[in-house]
Structure 1
Amino acid sequence: MIKPFLKYLLNEKRYSVHTVGSYEIDLLQFQSFLEDLDADLDQASTKMLRAWIVSLIEEGKSPRSVNRKIASLRTYYKFLLKRELIKKNPALNLKPLKTAKQLPQFVQKSEMNNLLDHSVFSDDFEGHRDRVIMELLYSTGIRRAELIGLKEEDVDLFNGTIKVLGKRNKERIIPLAKSNVALLKSYISSKNNAGFESPFMLVTNQGKQSYPMMINRIVKKYLGYISNIDKKSPHVLRHTFATHMLDNGADLNAVKDLLGHASLAATQVYTHNSLEKLKTVFDQAHPKA
């Protein structure tokens, strides 16, 4: 029943291909574990589920990773129960492991200014494209998948906005800074001069649609010039966008809408970084500190 479940996630729940792929990996891993017990996914008991979770912990899997697999199991068996394919949900009483609270990593403003204000980008198509990638991720806070899926027709240079297709196929409009508009005009001109006719905004050196590993590699390269943070990924630039917006007094609900979060709770995690900054300023400036 894995394939019908994955189709349900894609077509009815509108989960992203990446998320559905993660669910598939988790279920196939559990299925492999059950083979040693001569059991099937649809026949698994709560005891079997817990035995797999214990084995994952003994293998050294992080609590965060184990919790994702627990979530996959809970969603899968809830689906089976709803379809009346099982009489009892064996994952109902599974509880997630406690995890250490981690604040999102972000790049300092001075470091981002050093990157974007200096000529580390080459003056050719590749350099123009790389700069667009870094600027859009930082200036708009869009996700990597949203950037990859961005088409030229989604960019309104006259009004200075981009239309983004987010999670569960939800569209949102994000404003562009004037510097973004000028940069995109220059990049599109460079792209046309190279003879690339792809409808997608960001393309490879061969004119094909960009892909996740390419974006990861480019972001890691340029963040490596200016920052010593452990994680140098596109999502770090999303964290950086949100943190810098809130540091500068942006309304939390506005940041939520710009990020495309379904609930305010997901956005509130960034307020902790801003509070840490306020505490530092207080300690340095207040006579009673």
Structure 2
Amino acid sequence: MADTGWTPFGNASVDVLSDFERYLRVELGRSPHTVRAYLADVRGLLGHLEHAGGGRTVADLDLATLRGWLSALHEAGASRATLARRTAAVRVFTSYLHRTGLLDTDPGPRLAGPRRRRTLPAVLDEAQAAEVCAAAGGDGESPLALRRRAVVEVLYGTGIRVAELCGLDLDDVDRERRTVRVLGKGNRERVVPVGAPALEAVDRWLRTGRPRWATAASGRALFLGARGGRLGVRSARRDVHDSTEAVARTGPHGLRHSAATHLLNGGADLRSVQEILGHASLASTQLYTHVSVERLTRVYHQAHPRA
């Protein structure tokens, strides 16, 4: 391949990073959070390439360079999770470079990173979850209290991600079928069942809370902030933390994991839970089997003749 003339922090670097950002957002449909993280990781790699000296260009990115970068991160104290994420980011980047002709061969698939220790946050038991939902928003009828109650009920009642909740529009709620239409990771759309308590909380928010905050800029957003714009992820997290602190402090992720665990404990099969959660791989859903031992033990004692 001819020399591209590209140096890590020159104008061409900005162009490559800008194009890579577009690739992540438009073609791969990655979330804004993932895009920011991947770009930061790639900038770190390019800084390592520049530090190596010798006029190295993007065409010189090879397996040895990538391994050297990860080794330097490890020696600097980077965690397994950080190394795993940066490995994933660089694999996407080198694949992109190969596709666009900036690399003759793609070294990414041969780059072995550490396996991330996948752990689940503490989950609420079913009694705690019921208490959290009952306490959410307190006894108030202000827009904030009504929104908080609806946010907690929908997150636990559907198991959707907090970013997915913030992206819901008014017409995504189907009361007749008792479902919500969700746009998940990678712009994959799915339909998720929602329970009566969550629908009731949403209806109260729509009747009494949302109209008091709605402005011309609100559009079709289901959940709003106090200024009338679409509810942000940070505010939604605060809704959950503030609503649940008195009972069992947890966040949106904890409600999602609790919902999945309770579905499995109630007899739902893994494939159904995978579809509800929007996992691309069943391996992600299988993590929940580790927190459903109580149900398995109960079934064993009921069914096994030598139990």
Whether these two folds match at TM > 0.5 is yes
Choose the corresponding residue for 1:54, options 56, 67, 71.
71
Q: Report how far residue 245 of structure 1 moved.
A: 0.4
Q: Please say if residues 164 and 172 of structure 1, whose CA atoms lie closer than 8 Å, have aligned partners that are also in contact.
A: yes
Which residue is equivalent to 2:51? Answer: 36
Q: CA, structure 1 residues 85+129, in 2 after alignment: closer, same or farther (shift >3 Å)?
A: same
Distance 1:162 1:128, change over 3 A: same
Deviation, structure 1 residue 193: 4.1
Unaligned runs of 5+ in 2: 1-15
Q: Give, in angstroms, the shift of residue 91 of structure 1.
A: 3.1
- Matched length: 286
Identity of aligned residues (%): 32
CA deviation after TM superposition for structure 1 residue 89, in Å? 2.5
- 2:62 alignment partner in structure 1: 45
- Alignment check: 8 A CA contact 1:142 1:238 kept: yes
| CA distance in structure 2 between the aligned counterparts of 1:101 and 1:118, rounded to whole angstroms | 31
For the residues of structure 2 that align with 1:119 and 1:18, how far apart are their CA atoms? 27
Change (3 A) 1:100 1:143: closer
- The equivalent of 1:17 in structure 2 is 32
1:130 and 2:148 are equivalent in the alignment: yes
Which residue is equivalent to 1:74? 91
SS of residue in 2 equivalent to 1:80: helix
TM-score (norm: length of structure 2): 0.83
Q: What is the alpha-carbon distance in structure 1 between the residues aligned to residue 247 and residue 73 of structure 2?
A: 37
Shift of 1:213: 1.4
1:191 pairs, out of 197, 209, 212, with 209
Tell me the CA shift for residue 187 of structure 1. 0.6
Structure 2 distance, partners of 1:119, 1:31, is 47
- Once the two structures are superposed, residues 90-124 of structure 1 have per-residue CA deviations (whole angstroms, 9 ceiling, x without a partner) of 33421121444524532221211112234752321
Tell me the distance in 2 between the aligned counterparts of 1:240 and 1:187.
24
Does the aligned pair in 2 maintain the 1:66–1:97 contact within 8 Å?
Answer: yes
CA RMSD in angstroms comes to 2.6
Q: 1:206 is matched by which residue type in structure 2?
A: R
> SS in structure 1 opposite 2:110?
coil
* CA deviation profile, 1:28-51 (whole Å, cap 9, x unmatched): 122222222234444233222222
Q: Report deviation, 1:282.
A: 6.8
The secondary structure found in structure 1 opposite 2:180 is strand
> For 1:227-260, what per-residue CA distance to the aligned partner results, in whole angstroms no more than 9, with x for missing partners?
26xxx33222111111110011012221111112
> Amino acid of the residue matched to residue 131 of structure 1?
R
Q: Which residue of 2 aligns with 1:163?
A: 181
Question: Using the alignment, how far apart are the partners of 1:155 and 1:256 within structure 2?
Answer: 21
Listed as ranges, the gaps of 5+ residues in structure 1 are: none
CA contact (8 A) 1:154 1:163 kept: yes
Report matched runs for 1:91-106 at 5 Å.
Answer: 91-106=108-123
Q: Residue 226 of structure 1 is aligned with which of 241, 244, 247?
A: 247
What TM-score comes out, normalization by structure 1 length? Answer: 0.88
Cα deviation for residue 209 of structure 1 reads 1.1
Asked if 1:255 corresponds to 2:276, the answer is no
What corresponds to 1:152 in structure 2?
170
Query: Residues 58 and 102 of structure 2 are in contact (CA less than 8 Å); yes or no, is this contact kept in structure 1?
Result: no
- Residue 195 of structure 1 and its aligned partner are, at CA, apart by 4.7
Superposed displacement of residue 279, structure 1? 4.0
Counterpart CA distance in 1 for 2:264 and 2:121 is 14
Distance 1:58 1:274 in 2: 38
Return 111-120 or 205-214, whichever deviates more: 111-120
Are the counterparts in 2 of residues 146 and 165 from structure 1 also a CA contact under 8 Å? yes
**CA distance 1:124–1:265, shift in 2 (3 Å):** same
Q: How far apart in 2 are the matches of 1:36 and 1:255?
A: 47
